[in-house]
Structure 1
């Protein structure tokens, strides 16, 4: 993920795959959270979360490990695991394996903890291309809104989180588009924001 604009490297950039796996899945779920698609559509998200949001990001994270990118490895493996957690939560609850009726604000607190993790990952983007800064900025705020919405039952917060999640997922898909297009053309065609030079 660090090297989203560098050209001429012999290895393929795994961030292109990880970002689209994250982005596409996030947009679909966020459309439901925002109330633009029916809540009954959540079962459609489950296989996408397992296959594309989960598995593809885990694969991308493993490849980030191979190219010695600590940030990319941590991000893709973690959010790949998030999608597996979310899909399994829906599957288990929907099939009576677990009972969430007495869970109270626990799911909301879990989302808030994901927000804390994303907040410190966002700080890591201060030295990365601007597209990653924007993705992680919108993501930690999305988790904050969704977590507060789930913990308090405030539907307005969940809808706001869904709307911001659409933006976040769209930014991730744009980042993937830029990496793929720039690599294909061998030059910067799609701007992703230069990596800041910090002392």
Structure 2
């Protein structure tokens, strides 16, 4: 059964690259040589040696663990769409947090937060659920909800943190704290820092680029939350530094999201090059690579 699946997948891979199946290509796909089951034309492709075809952990599929092959999947890979929606919205807001060209008002991020980072990323998360990717569905849907909530918070008609709103009443009480809204925003961002930390722990056995995406995003949430708390405490210089640090980590997270999105889209049929994702040495693919190197050394000796 495994041989039949391997043969079918080898033929599909050969046809998709514009060539006819040959013994050499089949050998590369089924584990021939030092590649240990990875197609040299597409390092993202992997044929598991067991009874069913599996793919390794990969940010381009928004999947931190091994899962079933996508050969029989009726949906396209929704991960690059969700990653791109997240990346662009994060990039724009990070520019504001970094005070690029003197822009300090974050309202330009509202249409992106509601439309692209919010709605489109939420849809990508739902499609991840349809293809059976629990991690991708949870992460993309949640961050889509984050951007929708952030967009609502900055929408003037809702006036959640604006003048005359609940945190800035027209007739404040004598004990009113004018910076109370910053602590409330800190609570909001702290919750997302905790959630992102959970997801970060689930990428420790995947790839370096996938891990770094969540690591930099986690630090961005932490820095921005601390910046709001510092503002509430009156430490305005520290708050500005922390906000800029959050913007810097957010910018890194945006480009890492685009990096993983490109890795998930690019293959030998549409790109002249493929970008590395750097599997951790303790990951499934890392262990297989070590076994392959050891077997190659033994053969040479």
Tell me if the contact between 2:189 and 2:222 (Cα under 8 Å) persists in the aligned partners. yes
Matched, 1:119 2:193: no
More helix, by proportion: 1
Q: CA deviation at 1:12?
A: 1.6
Decide which of 166, 171, 189 is 1:99's aligned counterpart: 166
1:73 maps to which residue? 137
Decide which of 205, 224, 240 is 1:146's aligned counterpart: 224
Structure 1 stretches of 4+ with a deviation exceeding 4 A read 6-10, 94-97
**Two-structure CA RMSD over aligned residues (Å):** 2.8
Aligned residue pair count:
198
Q: CA deviation at 1:174?
A: 1.4
1:180 maps to which residue? 265
Match of 2:278, SS?
Answer: coil
Label 1:184 to 1:149 Cα distance change in 2 as closer, same or farther (>3 A): farther
Label 1:173 to 1:114 Cα distance change in 2 as closer, same or farther (>3 A): same
Match runs of 1:127-138 below 5 Å: 127-138=205-216
Q: CA deviation at 1:194?
A: 3.1
Match of 2:275, SS?
Answer: coil
Q: Give CA-to-partner distance per residue, 1:96-134, whole Å, 9 cap, x none.
A: 684333435111121011001100110011133322211
How far apart are the structure 1 equivalents of 2:153 and 2:164?
A: 9
Question: Which structure's CA Rg is the greater one?
Answer: 2
How far apart are the structure 2 equivalents of 1:176 and 1:183?
A: 16
Matched, 1:193 2:293: no
1:2 maps to which residue? 63
Which runs of 5 or more structure 2 residues have no equivalent in the other structure?
A: 1-61, 169-179, 232-238, 288-301
How far apart are the structure 1 equivalents of 2:275 and 2:186?
A: 37
How far apart are the structure 1 equivalents of 2:260 and 2:72?
A: 18
1:54 maps to which residue? 118
Tell me if the contact between 1:49 and 1:84 (Cα under 8 Å) persists in the aligned partners. yes
Label 1:99 to 1:14 Cα distance change in 2 as closer, same or farther (>3 A): same
Q: State TM-score, norm by structure 2.
A: 0.60
Q: State TM-score, norm by structure 1.
A: 0.88
Which runs of 5 or more structure 1 residues have no equivalent in the other structure?
A: none
How far apart are the structure 1 equivalents of 2:77 and 2:190?
A: 30
Match of 2:203, SS?
Answer: helix
Tell me if the contact between 2:87 and 2:258 (Cα under 8 Å) persists in the aligned partners. yes
